[in-house]
Amino acid sequence: MSGPLEGLIVADFSRVLAGPYATMLLGDLGATVIKVERPGTGDDTRTCSPPVDDHGDATYFLSVNRNKYSVAWDLDEAADRARARDLAERADIFIENFPAGALDKRDLGYDDVASINADVIYCSISGFGPEADLPGYDLLVQAMGGLMDITGDTEPTKAGVAIVDVITGLHAVNAILAALHHRDRTGEGQHLEVTLLGSLLSALVNQTGSAAITGESPERMGNAHPSVSPYEPYPTADRPIVIAVGNDQQFARLCEALQHPDWAIDPRFATNTARVDNRELLRTLLTDALQTRGADEWQSLLNAVRVPCGPINTVNQALELADRLNLTPIIEIDGVMQIANPVRYSRTPVTYRLRPPHLGEHCIDEVLG
């Protein structure tokens, strides 16, 4: 068995990141994913470089396109459009992120596909929904969706990765799996609509929740937390360390380790609410106390008393950490290095069957028979 979704066919008409990330996860779980790309150019991320691997392939594309077959079809050509409709008729899942109406003009919209495949799970991904004539780029949604306004210090700052696309891809997979369960019980397919803006607003959790309840927009606070303290990086004798105190008991243990047990019973710091109200004073006191040792020594001491803390790692250091913890963060498929699927299944493990495909390297008849 190659995974819990073995036997399901995914018609992947998506490109860039949110959709391809979703279909890669479905492929990891055993689904047969047919990636439909434009002849000549393919997925936009094939040209998102540098960096590239030793073969000149963009690492961006390679990061989200394993476990897929690639066909190159021009949907404006009748023959290729017929091939696409045949795939849509056979698919269990159809996923796309074309501009609104673009696939309807090519007889591949939801109504068109459902007319020949009534139980299809058809997932449409867009930036702002079908009624908005706006391009769905992650950076725009980070800006227009409020994430940049609450990120950074003095200036609004984007996240270091297209995190909205990733979150949207995860929501898409969640929705698809729920729709498959509904289909198993009832035989009914359905149309799913997932937006980057909606996904981001959901992912802002306490920040959007606060705005909805109080009517006030959260303020940008740099690395500080609006509702928890101490919960940010602090300088030490050599480099910063992050301290993430989640409750009063952890704070008391921190004070003991810093040889200031009196802080834990000081009315200004005894509760989390008091610590948030007196954040600046507490930051000054902690910074002074932490200057006596380096970050590694503090981490060892604080971990020993169960105070959450850690250094600010580079990406390579984070991969090394995961490797030391036996999380196996990197796998290899036919010479292509990949970041592993993060979920471990006790009975239906993910499989890595196909390296990211070259443009149009597969024949649909050979894949599906």
**pLDDT confidence of residue 366:** 87
- Which structural domains are found in the chain, ordered by start? 9-203+328-368 (3.40.50.10540), 241-311 (3.30.1540.10)
**pLDDT confidence of residue 369:** 79
| Residue for token pair 């290095």 | 337
Nearest to 93 by CA among 121, 118, 74, 71: 121
**pLDDT confidence of residue 325:** 97
| Rounded Cα gap, residues 150 and 232, in angstroms | 15
Angle between helices 196-203 and 163-186 (to 10 degrees): 100
User: Could you read off the pLDDT of 137-191 as tens digits, one per residue?
Assistant: 999 999 999 999 999 998 999 999 999 999 999 999 999 999 999 999 999 999 9
* Rg, C-alpha atoms of the chain: 25
User: Could you read off the pLDDT of 26-62 as tens digits, one per residue?
Assistant: 999 999 999 999 999 999 999 999 999 988 999 999 9
Residues in contact with 338: Cβ distance below 8 Å, sequence separation at least 6, in sequence order: 62, 63, 66, 330, 331, 332, 352
| Rounded Cα gap, residues 88 and 215, in angstroms | 45
User: Could you read off the pLDDT of 16-34 as tens digits, one per residue?
Assistant: 999 999 999 999 999 999 9
| Rounded Cα gap, residues 204 and 145, in angstroms | 9
Distances (CA, A) of 203 to 26, 165, 198, 342: 21, 12, 9, 19
Q: Which residues are catalytic?
A: 165
The residues facing 233 across adjacent strands are 242
The residues facing 332 across adjacent strands are 337
The answer to whether the beta carbons of residues 287 and 298 sit under 8 Å apart is: no
CA dihedral over 19, 23, 25, 26, signed as positive or negative: positive
Low-confidence ranges of the chain (pLDDT < 70): 1
Residues in contact with 104: Cβ distance below 8 Å, sequence separation at least 6, in sequence order: 111, 112
Backbone angles phi, psi at 314, to 5 degrees: -75, 170
Total-model pTM: 0.94
**pLDDT confidence of residue 1:** 66
DSSP string spanning 21-76? HHHHHHHHTT-EEEEEE-TTT-SGGGG--S-B-TTS-BHHHHTT--SEEEEE--TT
Token duo for residue 325: 């913890």
The answer to whether the beta carbons of residues 88 and 368 sit under 8 Å apart is: no
| Rounded Cα gap, residues 282 and 224, in angstroms | 12
Q: Cα torsion for 21, 23, 25, 28, to the nearest 10°? A: -130
The answer to whether the beta carbons of residues 71 and 37 sit under 8 Å apart is: yes
